[in-house]
Amino acid sequence: MESRLFEKPVFRIAGDRGLLVEFGEGIDPKVNAKVRAMAKFLEKKTPKGVKEMLPTYRSLLFIYDPGVTNPDILCKRIEKFNNTLEKMEIDPFKVVEIPVCYANKFGPDMENVQKAHGLTT
């Protein structure tokens, strides 16, 4: 799949209380930057009725109270802010290193896994 940033967000209904907003497809830092910028922007200006906002690499899922808002209202609000995000600065990714050890007492099943999958340490 070719990665690309959409010109406009794509909106998808996600159940009776969810709205999924997709900003692109594939693994593309530009798509993720757009998601992160929108999430950062909306953290300060959360639309009325939004209970939770869940960012992924290429989309945002909004969980909302249908007694307060609806997808039409949310879509209009998100589209309004979409064009202002280019100027927004986002924090760079924080690299987290996770040490791994496969030997001795830390990986007692390593030998069995190696044999089962034809791998070496």
pLDDT digits (tens, 9 = 90+) for 4-27: 889 899 999 999 999 999 999 988
46: three-class secondary structure by DSSP:
coil
What is residue 74's predicted lDDT score, i.e. its pLDDT? Answer: 96
Domain boundaries, the chain: 4-87
pLDDT (tens digit per residue) in 65-86: 999 999 999 999 999 888 777 6
Whether 88 shows a pLDDT value over 70: the answer reads no
Whether 1 shows a pLDDT value over 80: the answer reads no
**Among the four given CATH numbers 1.10.10.60, 3.30.70.100, 3.30.1360.40, 3.40.50.300, the one describing domain 4-87:** 3.30.1360.40
Residues contacting residue 59 through CB under 8 Å, at least 6 positions apart: 20, 21, 22, 23, 35
